[in-house]
Chains A and B, each alone.
Chain A
Amino acid sequence: MKNYAYVREKSIPPSPPPLIEVGVIGWIRQNLFSSWFNSFLTLFSLYFIFICLIDFIPWAWGGHWNAKSLRECMDLDPNVACFSVLAARWEQLLFGLYPADQYWRPTLTFVFLILSIIPILFPRFFRYFWFSVIYPGLAIWLLWGGSIWSIAIIYIGVIFGVASFTVLSKGVIRSTSVNLTLSIVITLLFFLFLSSTLTEFLSYLIPISLPFVESLRMGGFTLSLIVGISGIVASFPIGILLALGRQSNLPIIKMICVGFIEFIRGVPLITLLFVASVLLNYFLPPGTNFDIVLRVVIMVTLFSAAYMAEVIRGGLAGLPLGQHEASASLGLTYWQSQRLIIMPQALKISIPGIVNTFIGLFKDTTLVSIISLRDPIGLASTIRADTKWNGIYWELYVAIGLMFFIVCFGMSQYSQYLERKLQTDK
């Protein structure tokens, strides 16, 4: 070793890469200007973004917020936005014609909505799932009002039905299907004969009620959320059942499911909405008050369920047949194997499609403006009919678009989070 004049004992620390290869400059060079074609695309895109924003930013930034009418906006400066219409009408855009002193009710419903979906979205809060179960009834009561017992009776009835099912299952009949049918009959009998008396009795005993608000006053973004969320929540289980029914070995069930799915998919949503709005009333006896919002929710749910069924069927088809056979060989019953083996995998595959259907459904709720409900789009035309705001377009649509974007973007972000979390095969 001594023969050597110098031995390096440590390696030289690596020099930093050249300045133009790292940091912001490096990133830009690598990603935006790596070749002449990419450079051209980058510049072209920048120019495109520029011309989109050059008019929009000053228009939106300098917008008027305090004018009393469009005329006043025009007199101030006709070249910028007249957001005053939002200042004057934001409550209507959010709540429709809901009584002003009751605005806390839809607001509270919305807050509870967020609280109630947390246990569903994030498993570590699953112990609060009971709240998600009582939420639908709570929301209906908060929004429409009336006696709390008229809603609570539905829960009581369902508990009654479940209890009867449990009792029956412990009895002599071993067949789940027979027990299920029997308990459903018992529940129906409860609703037919017992519920009204019980409701009156409870209302008399513990009178809790809110002022009644009729559906005619529902509107704005509240209405979009009512229709959208109820549609989403209800269409998911129905979609699963339809998808299973379509794959069933029982011919009649299969035929009904296929017929339903194909019929609904073959008809535009607006046609179903027209049926809900005008046709249904021809068939109901005069004086029947079949709530319009409920009618619309039912139609939207059926429509969305058919699409949901096909999305889930896609997930089911994506599973190897071996999974079915393996679960059968373990001795699992049909429902056990669906619940424990098939559905968890099928639903995981279908997440993008499911969320896609949800987002589509939520945006489709704007179609209700055609059957005269006052959703944000319908309200926009009502607002324009006020002489003060006649001729105002962009401001309203930008605001409505933004509200829808927030909800839809939220849904898509959650689905991506869920996909990442459930990524078990990599």
Chain B
Amino acid sequence: MKKLFLGVLTALTLVAGSSIAATLDDVKARGNLLCGVSTGAPGFATVDDSGKNVGFDVDYCRALAAAIFGDPMAVKFVPLTSAVRFTALAAGEVDILARNTTWTYSRDTDLKQTFLGVNYYDGQGFMVKKDLGVKSTLELDGATVCIQVGTTTELNLADYFKENGMSYEPVPTADNAESQQQYLAGACDTYTTDASALHGTRVNLENPDAHLVLPEIISKEPLGPLVRHGDDQWADIGRWVLNALVIAEEKGITKANIDSWGDTKDAEIHRLLGTGDTDILAMMGMPKNALYNAIKAGGNYGEIFENNLGATGGINIERGVNASWTKGGILYSPPFR
């Protein structure tokens, strides 16, 4: 209570808006990372039956916490709705936002955020009932489409159908939940939203095999973690933890075998895991074994993907474009040197 009282008092005397520098120091002083995640996005962030935070974005933040503190549990997850996420980051309520947020030009520039990279290439897809006999979005001419109003998906849908000279009849809905109910009740032939959400929805339908997520993705929704403008060191740390997870998958470093790379000839692995002579992690103010800890926390990118979005996670999303570039995807980290 006294803390609050003094806080209000300081607020009255101090002028707001003093710059927030050296996030890393703040985080270290606090002893834990404040990570903004979704209040609930299947596969990305939620709370399991025992009250533990789980998800793809959650695992990224655990890796980051492991890099800083050596302890993947030294992180507090702040649930944020899409309405408050950017202001919460800007106001300093969280250190990093890993909340399946699409990287766009205006968010990067106008909202003064720094995106650290892409951890998941999402895109808008369509779900149909199999007995409709449709195999491709291009066969959807004249279809009724359940669509969430006021979203970018609504605009993408209009653009896509116009480009391809097709017509459709929109059935407006308020959110994904309503779209799903309308679709199941037969109010529309197909319903559209981000493909990851479609996959998440499909597995729990009464009969998943009766439904199909069409292969076409009609929009770019690159999701990634972001931080505030103005602290490049902090942005570098977040970016290279993400890159390290991607490189680890590329090199075959897993949570299980991470300790067995001591005598590898690959110099990049030595630099990454801090097993070599050169300590290049000092360049961003991190301990030599920071990225080793990050990978050790939840495994490499592929393992995290599999545990949350893949078959183990129960959503069964194919790697597709999210595979490493060595396996036909577009996941590509700059070299670690």
Binding site for B on A (CB under 8 A): 69-71, 74, 78, 88-89, 91-92, 97, 100, 150-151, 153-154, 191, 195-196, 199, 214, 216, 274, 277-279, 281-291, 294, 369-372, 374, 378, 381-393
Q: Which of B26-77 contact A (CB under 8 A)?
A: 26, 38-51, 54-55, 76-77
Complex contacts, B93 vs chain A, CB 8 Å: 281
Q: Is the CB of A196 within 8 A of B2?
A: yes
Q: Is the CB of B41 within 8 A of A387?
A: no
Complex contacts, A291 vs chain B, CB 8 Å: 4
In Å, the complex CA distance between A214 and B181 comes to 37
Question: B11 contacts the other chain (Cβ, under 8 Å)?
Answer: yes
Q: With A278-B91, A387-B313, A391-B204 known to touch, is A289 a contact of B7 (CB < 8 Å)?
A: yes
Q: Which residue of B lies closest to A140 (CB)?
A: B1
Count of B interface residues, CB-CB < 8 Å: 58
CB distance from B75 to the nearest CB of A (A): 12
In Å, the complex CA distance between A393 and B176 comes to 12
Q: Which residue of B lies closest to A89 (CB)?
A: B49
In Å, the complex CA distance between A284 and B11 comes to 5
Q: Is the CB of A386 within 8 A of B42?
A: yes
In Å, the complex CA distance between A282 and B93 comes to 10
Could you list some 27 contacts between A and B, CB below 8 A?
A: A74-B205, A100-B51, A150-B2, A151-B1, A199-B2, A277-B88, A278-B84, A282-B17, A282-B87, A286-B18, A287-B26, A287-B92, A290-B7, A290-B8, A371-B84, A372-B78, A372-B84, A374-B39, A381-B40, A385-B41, A386-B42, A386-B46, A386-B49, A387-B314, A390-B203, A391-B204, A393-B181
In Å, the complex CA distance between A388 and B50 comes to 13
In Å, the complex CA distance between A294 and B7 comes to 13
Complex contacts, B26 vs chain A, CB 8 Å: 287
CB distance from A227 to the nearest CB of B (A): 16
Q: Is the CB of B40 within 8 A of A281?
A: no
Q: Is the CB of A154 within 8 A of B40?
A: no
Question: B180 contacts the other chain (Cβ, under 8 Å)?
Answer: yes
Complex contacts, B206 vs chain A, CB 8 Å: 74, 78
Q: 3 nearest interchain CB pairs? A: A385-B40, A281-B91, A385-B46
In Å, the complex CA distance between A62 and B1 comes to 50
Select which of B2, B41, B49 is within 8 A of A88 by beta carbon: B49
Question: B287 contacts the other chain (Cβ, under 8 Å)?
Answer: no
In Å, the complex CA distance between A215 and B205 comes to 35
Question: B10 contacts the other chain (Cβ, under 8 Å)?
Answer: yes
